[in-house]
């Protein structure tokens, strides 16, 4: 894995962080859970997960993000053993493919250092931690030893409690300060700054109005000078605006949110709907980049 000031090479794929000339990258969501808010139970067998991974890659995904623990509001926390049981067989199967999935970078969506280590050993290339490294005090030291990139997301509380913690005095300033703190802590633990990606945590300890505020003022977070990941896909604030209680009916609302994120400087979008969001990115990139 090579790093530079404005790019990162993962599994022979170069990701360039240049808001004026580059392009927006897509992280395809692969939830191998029975209870995720949008697609729980659809891809929780190895066969269905592999089929979905191929669909995501064929649709334009640059990274596949595999998660075994649902992080929807109120989701029950599963055991370490259960999380490993859900994600490792899928990782092994993906890395044994001989098609386009074989070379795609894979992210492991976890807050547990033990899952991160096992997943990287099985073929994952990066870690996506929704707690920003706060849930497991060993996460930063583990990632430093592994030498892989990490996504640090803003959250308050846990998925079980986060929607009780939406009382901000200054939303963007508090997100900025949290992420600055987590970047500093990660670097102090030995993680290369060039391998740190930040995420404002849309939908995590945020009201619908606060999610819109983040999208309006996303450019503030570019001052942190780290690649920026945004994940608005199918989330409830879109459903509230459109009166779409079914998350799978929020594709076009997601498209609008993704275009806004690109206008605000997002480098990576974490999405369910490929290839629709691939086309959104191509047009929005032509306008804003």
Among all residues, which ones are annotated catalytic? 235, 270
Buried residues in 11-23 as b, exposed as e (16+ CB within 10 A): eeeebebebeebb
Pairing of β 7-10 and β 3-4: antiparallel
CA–CA distance, 150 with 152 (Å, rounded to integer): 6
In the block, tokens 């707690």 appear at 131
Secondary structure class of 66 (helix, strand, coil): strand
Residue 105 backbone dihedrals phi, psi, to 5 degrees: -60, 140
Q: Which residues of 79-89 are buried (b: 16+ CB within 10 A; e: fewer)?
A: eeeebbebbbe
Nearest to 122 by CA among 114, 131, 130: 114
Q: Are 263 and 216 in contact (CB under 8 A)?
A: no
């Amino acid at each position: 894995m090579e790093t530079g000031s404005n790019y990162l090479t993962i599994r022979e794929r170069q990701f360039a962080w240049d808001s004026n000339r580059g392009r927006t990258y897509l992280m395809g969501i692969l939830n191998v859970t029975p209870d995720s808010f949008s697609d729980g139970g659809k891809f929780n067998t190895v066969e269905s997960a592999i089929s979905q991974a191929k669909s995501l890659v064929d649709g334009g995904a640059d990274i596949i993000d595999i998660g075994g623990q649902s992080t929807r509001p109120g989701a029950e926390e599963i055991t370490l053993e259960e999380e490993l049981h859900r994600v490792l067989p899928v990782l092994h199967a993906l890395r044994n493919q001989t098609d386009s999935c074989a070379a795609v970078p894979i992210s492991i969506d976890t807050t547990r250092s033990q899952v991160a280590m096992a997943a990287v050993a099985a073929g994952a290339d990066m870690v996506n931690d929704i707690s920003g490294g706060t849930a497991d005090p060993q996460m930063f030291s583990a990632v430093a030893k592994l030498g892989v990139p990490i996504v640090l997301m803003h959250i308050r509380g846990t998925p079980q409690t986060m929607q009780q913690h939406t009382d901000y005095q200054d939303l963007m300033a508090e997100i900025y300060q949290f992420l600055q703190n987590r970047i500093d802590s990660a670097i102090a633990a030995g993680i290369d700054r060039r391998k740190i990606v930040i995420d404002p945590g849309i939908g995590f300890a945020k009201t619908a109005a606060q999610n819109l505020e983040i999208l309006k003022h996303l450019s503030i977070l570019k001052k942190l000078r780290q690649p920026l990941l945004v994940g608005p896909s199918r989330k409830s604030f879109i459903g509230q605006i459109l009166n779409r209680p079914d998350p799978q009916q929020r594709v076009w609302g997601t498209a609008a949110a993704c275009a806004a994120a690109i206008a605000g400087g997002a480098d990576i979008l974490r999405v369910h709907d490929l290839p629709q969001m691939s086309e959104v990115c191509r047009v929005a990139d032509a306008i804003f980049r």
